[in-house]
Structure 1
Amino acid sequence: MINGTITKVLGFDPYYETDAAERNISKITGIVRYVVEYTNGATEELVTTLRPGENFGWSIKVMQAAQAWLNAGGVIPEWVQPTPEEIRAFMPTLTARQFRHGLLNTNTLPSEVDAIIAEIEHEFEREAARIDWEHANEFERLHPLVVAWGSRLGYTPEVVDDLWEYFRTI
């Protein structure tokens, strides 16, 4: 258990099943953002997920603080469907091995990636892409090289998303 006190609830991030009109925090699913002050005086912002029937130990204190916040006028926002770009930003990274073998499995040779890099107009960006291609340990879905690869081969972002999920299995 955390050896500290919740000094402030910063807000609540709903899940898709969150009922924003519910006033009993023990019936609400979502993430509470809050500040803890430890016994040594240090403070830290933390988050805890609350889910009905699954709150034990420290999360009981978080639930109590969140209920006090809600009772004092705190507002639980409506859940908003994330945009495709927001979803892409949180897609898991691929190891360099997964990405390179995935490309190979979709008939994209390393020389084609080299050609994509060579087409980058700005020298600094081109050299940064070359360094990443040759030395990166992992790749993010929205990395400029990944975006350029998909665009150059005529893939829609949705097709690249599907390929990304496939590459994760390699």
Structure 2
Amino acid sequence: MAPPILNSISKVTATSEPQVYLVRCNITEIDGITYDTDFCSRPDDPYGVNPQVREWLAANPDFPIDPYVPPTPEEQREAMPSLSAAQYRQGLVGAGHSPQEVTDAIAALPDGRRRSPSRSSGNTQRFSNACSHSSSRSASCSA
């Protein structure tokens, strides 16, 4: 089975990881379908279109690589998954808050906030770092 074909690269953006790039490119799949896509290129990935991308990068050292721009706190918050009330409680209790402390904080929230504990602010600000979330942006690569 032949690998996809790299037709062109229009943009390269650095990520938070050294030598890992988000590449905007045009490829043709083995079934003949051609399309533009964002591709995460890692230096040690021998699969798919990545070897062609790496060869192209080596052959075009003067092609501009846009710098990595870390996500803003708002972008990080937006990328966090929604949590159910049970997941939120479990995370807070797992982070060392007593079940009663969590119940009291939720009870102190205005009515509209009780039904949506997935986004912490206001009275729950002290719990905002209790749950750990991994976030990703489209401009960064996830392993």
TM-score, normalised with respect to structure 1: 0.53
- Conserved in 1, the CA contact under 8 Å of 2:83 and 2:117? no
For residue 47 of structure 1, report the CA deviation from its aligned partner.
0.8
Residues 85 and 111 (structure 1), Cα distance of their counterparts in 2 relative to 1, 3 Å cut: closer
How many residue pairs get aligned? The number is 125
SS of the equivalent of 1:107 reads: helix
For residue 101 of structure 1, report the CA deviation from its aligned partner.
3.3
Q: 1:120-151: per-residue Cα shift (whole Å, max 9, x none)?
A: xxxxxxxxxx9xx4xxxxxxxxxx7534x521
- Farther-moved stretch of structure 1 (83-92 vs 93-102): 93-102
* % same residue: 21
- Tell me how large the CA RMSD over aligned residues is: 3.6
Q: Looking at both structures, which has the greater relative contact order when contacts are Cα pairs under 8 Å and sequence separation is at least 6?
A: 2
- Conserved in 2, the CA contact under 8 Å of 1:9 and 1:35? yes
Give unmatched runs, 5+ long, in structure 1: 19-27, 120-129, 134-143
Q: 1:49 aligns with which of 34, 41, 54?
A: 41
For residue 11 of structure 1, report the CA deviation from its aligned partner.
1.6
Write 1 or 2 for the structure with the bigger share of helix: 1
Give unmatched runs, 5+ long, in structure 2: 94-98, 134-143
TM-score, normalised with respect to structure 2: 0.60
Report the residue type matching 2:121 in the other structure.
G
Q: Which residue of 2 aligns with 1:123?
A: none
Q: Which residue of 1 aligns with 2:65?
A: 76
Residues 29 and 102 (structure 1), Cα distance of their counterparts in 2 relative to 1, 3 Å cut: closer
SS of the equivalent of 2:9 reads: strand
Report the residue type matching 1:4 in the other structure.
P
Residues 4 and 29 (structure 1), Cα distance of their counterparts in 2 relative to 1, 3 Å cut: closer
